[in-house]
Each structure stands twice: as structure tokens, then as C-alpha cells.
Homo-oligomer: A and B are copies of this chain.
Amino acid sequence: MANTIIGVMGPGEGATQQNISDATELGKLIAEKEWVLLTGGRNVGVMNAASKGAQQAGGLIVGILPSENRDNSSPYVDIPICTGMGGARNNINVLSSDVVVACGMGAGTTTEIMLAIKAQKPLLLLNAKQSLMEYLEVLPYPSPKQATSPAQLISFITPIL
């Protein structure tokens, strides 16, 4: 039977220190719940940090790579999926996740937030900036729930599953 898959989306090169530490902790907590972690797979930023946290806690990590091969895969990814379709792979990240978590902000992460809204996927934000929340309120969709810590975010996931 299919495992529960939690997708953690966030910036690559543009990740802040806060994003990195949040993502590492998220990865760890997801692994401890025995959920599968899904990320964008690259060896930078939130993708890499969440994968590292999950790996160190004995979790299973799936990385959906934009590239045709594994050259830039995070070393903490167990199952690298090579899509060869660049940024269009963000839709696969979202469709494959039971719950989509956005950790930090960037152009790519925003596409994943919007694709999750379109696909009506459960969507949770961690430490999102006020300007994003205000923008989301203007869009004609229910606003996603926001958490202020990885632990709180995990507590939001359980009742959804």
C-alpha cells in the first residue's frame, strides 16, 4: 500500500539560514513519523537540508529532479526520480504529495504553492512572509494554514491524513 508522502518545497540557492534549519528539523520529524519525504531533489537549500534531516533520522527520501540524470541530486536522496523537464517537474512534486509544505520563499516555491492550490492539495506554510499571506488572501481560494515551527507544522499534518 502507498506510503504517506509529505512534500517539502523551498528555495534552493536562495534559502536562508532559517529555512535550512527549519527544513532539517522538518525532515527529521517527518522521518520519525515514518512518512516518506519528497523534495525537489537537488543538493542545495531546503531540498538538501530536509533530505539530510530525514536521512539522519532513518527516513526514506524521494527527490524529483528537474534534470535528466542524478549529477545534482542531494546525497541524502534515496530515490532520485529524473524527470528531464526542468521547472515543469514542480507539478509532479505537488501531485505526488499527500500534503504540501512550503518552507521559505522563492519563485519556484511559489509555483508549488500555486500548483497545490490548483490541485486542491492540503497546503501548509512554515514561517511564510506577511506579503505572501496578504497576496494569498486576495486570490479566490481558501488561505493555507501557517505554522511558526516545524513541530507545530507536524501537528497540523496528522489530522489531515
Binding site for B on A (CB under 8 A): 1-3, 5, 14, 36, 60, 62, 64, 68-70, 73, 75, 77-92, 95-96, 105-108, 110-111, 114-115, 117-119, 129, 131-132, 134-135, 137-141
12 residue pairs from A and B, CB less than 8 Å apart: A1-B75, A3-B78, A81-B92, A82-B92, A82-B95, A87-B91, A88-B92, A106-B139, A106-B140, A111-B111, A131-B131, A131-B135
In the complex, what residues of B have CB within 8 A of residue A119's CB? Answer: 68, 87
In the complex, how many angstroms separate the beta carbon of A64 from the nearest chain B beta carbon? 7
Contact A91 B92 (CB under 8 A): no
Contacts of A111 in B (CB 8 A): 110-111, 114-115, 118
A100 to B62, CA, bound (A): 19
A114, B110: Cβ atoms under 8 Å?
A: yes
Question: How far does the Cβ of A14 sit from chain B's closest Cβ, in whole Å?
Answer: 6
| Measured CA separation A141–B108 after assembly (Å) | 12
Taking CB atoms, residues of chain B closer than 8 Å to A91 are 84-88
Closest Cβ–Cβ distance, residue A111 to chain B (whole Å): 4
- CB contacts (< 8 Å) of A36 on chain B: these are 79
Known contacts A85-B88, A92-B84; is A70 also within 8 Å of B139 by CB?
no
